[in-house]
Amino acid sequence: MRRIHLIVGLVALLAFLLSGQAMHFHRPPTHALAPEFRLMFVSRHIYLLAGALVNLCLGLYLQPSRLGWRRIAQMLGSVLVVISPAFSFLAFLYEPERGMAGHSWRTPAGLIPLFAGVMLHLVSRIGEKRSAG
C-alpha cells in the first residue's frame, strides 16, 4: 500500500503544480476575478495539495499493523486517502467558474475521505505496542 500512496501522492503533487499553472495563466487573471471566484480556485488548489501531502507521507512512513482490526482500519483509511485527490482535482476543474454557487458534491467527496482516512489511521495506532526499532 505504501507504493500506491507514494504514486498517488506524486501524481497529485503534479496535478497541484499544474493547477497552480492553470491559475497563473487563467484568463482573465485570477487576481482580477471577484473574491468568491478567486477563493474557489485557491481553496480547491489547497485541498488538492492536502491530499497529495498526506499520500506522500503515508507512502514514505506507513507501517502496516499485524493485528486484524488495526490492519483493516489502516487499509480502509488508505483507500479513503488514495481516492481523495481525484475528487479534489475534479472540484478544482469544475467548481471555481461557478463561484460560491458552484459548490458541489466534489469538494466533500475529496475532503471527507481524506479526514476519515487519516482518522482511521490514527485509531489503528492508538494503544498499539511498538517494538524497539
Predicted pLDDT at 54: 98
Q: Cell numbers at residue 2, please?
A: 505504501
Domain boundaries, the chain: 2-125
pLDDT, tens only, 104-126: 899 999 999 999 999 999 999 98
pLDDT band at 5 (very low <50, low <70, confident <90, very high): very high
